[in-house]
Amino acid sequence: MLLLIGKLVMGMIVTDNVSVRFLVQPGGALKGRIRVPGDKSISHRSIMLGSIAEGITKVSGFLEGEDSLATLNAFRAMGVSIEGPDAGKVTIHGVGLKGLKPPSQPLDLGNSGTSMRLLSGLLAGQAFDVELTGDHSLVSRPMRRVTEPLASMGARIGTTEKGTAPLQIKGGQPLEGIDYNMPVASAQVKSCLLLAGLYANSRTCVREPAPTRDHTERMLAGMGYPVTTENGKVCLQGGGKLMAASIDVPADISSAAFFLVGASIAPGSDLLLEHVGINPTRTGVLEILKLMGADIKVLNRREVGGEPVADLRVRAAQLHGIDIPVEQVPLAIDEFPALFIAAACAQGRTVLTGAEELRVKESDRIQVMADGLQALGAQAEPTADGMIIEGGTLNGGCVDSGGDHRIAMSFAMAGLRASGPIKIDDCANVNTSFPDFVSLASSVGLSVSNE
């Protein structure tokens, strides 16, 4: 029997044994109304910017997953007083741009690439030395994409020979603003450089080759920090001040994506997802599913704390394969594991290109998803920058998630169309973004359990 044994450390669940297996029984439909957990990207940024703002920032809807808690604990370790989280509510007593204190030990960021890449920029301008580390997956991911442009600003950051963490950041380095053209669209790189730019002596500009999520720019502006955005170029001047604000974190569209796909592929489904963030830099999953023939209605549009929000009603529909538009790829980069399941259940061929970023996520999501789909009898051909999937039927079987939370949850939804039970191994990291996934999914009709 496979067990998850956890302990509470500084408010975060730490897994002692990663042998967690999901068992999904075949069939069923998704019905009802649910609110998925808060947006992970916005939760991270609320802690980071609230900590270096002047005054008290109050956050509601905070995602109490391991990744977001890793960021919260990092700032506590640097002297920031943070109350909560308590039912998604967090109170942050900001210390200002220069009020952080040196931590007594390396900052362990667990599995969170967002924490490490954004913090590398924010901490490059501090007066103290600090080391950033994480779990086995995190310390294997590429970090030169942030350390090299930071070095051009004057930062001194040590890495391994492979350009991976642990990162040793040398304090007391004067930073100069840069005008940086990102070779690959990446919200993490953009945000990292903008956060470093807060501490620079001059103006920092980042040009992106395609739109990426803009939560950092929106939150900076909401805290009174001037940011300009024009024709794919984002700029700010260093040396300003952030003022505390109230932040209402909407439900995460990346978490909603599993249910959007599940309800689309399972006959008889009719599901309402409440209070979902529909930031236009994040809605690629909606556009791609609609191109595939999904029946998704966007209801009750509104704006909450500078972020657009809506309720999403999704009903079962016969999906068909498409060539995924390359301009939608950066807008759905985290949702492709779920979209691959949709493609495997669609009629005809789906082709994804331009998504080489998927190979350096929590896992090589192209290869791990292809292996899992093939294990269930699907025709899935991985390519250097995407995948070719022939839609058809899915069998039961055993799948290894590669320790990747999004892959584990995607294959759970595949059970709605499988001909037999699906066992999904290495699912502990679902806690990084969706701690209550099994119970919430079960409440609307997915037959999933921790075996």
Give residue 76's pLDDT band: very low, low, confident or very high (50, 70, 90): very high
- What proportion of the chain, given as a percentage, has pLDDT over 90? 91
Domain ranges (residues) in the chain: 6-39+251-450, 40-248
Distance from C-alpha of 448 to C-alpha of 439, rounded to nearest angstrom: 8
Contact 380, 349 (CB under 8 A): no
Model confidence pLDDT, tens digit, residues 436-451:
999 999 999 999 999 8
Does residue 136 surpass a pLDDT of 50? yes
pLDDT, mean of residues 413-426: 98
Rounded mean pLDDT, 298-319: 94
Q: Note whether 395 and 373 are within 8 A (CB).
A: no
- Those residues with Cβ within 8 angstroms of residue 88's Cβ, 6 or more apart along the chain or in another chain: 38, 60, 61, 62, 63, 64, 249
Tally of CB atoms within 10 A around 104: 7
Contacts of 9 (CB under 8 A, 6+ apart): none
Of residues 334, 404, 425, 426, which has the active-site annotation?
Answer: 334
Residue 6: pLDDT band (50, 70, 90) is very low
Express the helix, strand and coil content of the chain in percent, nearest 5 each. Answer: 30, 30, 40
Give the other-Cβ count within 10 Å of 239's Cβ: 12
Closest CA to 259 of 345, 335, 369: 335
Q: What is the pTM of this model?
A: 0.87
Fold equal for 6-39+251-450 and 40-248 = yes
pLDDT digits (tens, 9 = 90+) for 334-347: 999 999 999 999 99
- Which residue, among 127, 123, 14, has the nearest Cα to 75 in the 3D structure? 123
Residue carrying the six token digits 């060539």: 323
- CATH top-level class of 6-39+251-450: alpha beta
Rounded Cα–Cα distance for residues 92 and 81 (Å): 6
Which tens digit of pLDDT belongs to each residue from 345-354?
A: 999 999 999 9
**CATH top class, domain 40-248:** alpha beta
Q: Is 334 an annotated catalytic residue?
A: yes
According to the model, what pLDDT value does residue 2 have?
32
Asked if 310 contacts 338 with a C-beta cutoff of 8 angstroms, the reply is no
DSSP symbols for 42-57: HHHHHHHHHHTSEEEE
- Going along 305-378, which residue ranges are E strands? 307-315, 349-352
Structure tokens at 334: 């985290």
User: What pLDDT, on the 0 to 100 scale, is given for residue 10?
Assistant: 34
Partnered with residue 15 across adjacent β-strands are 6
Residue 319 contacts residue 265 (beta carbons within 8 Å): yes
Q: Give the pLDDT score at 361.
A: 86
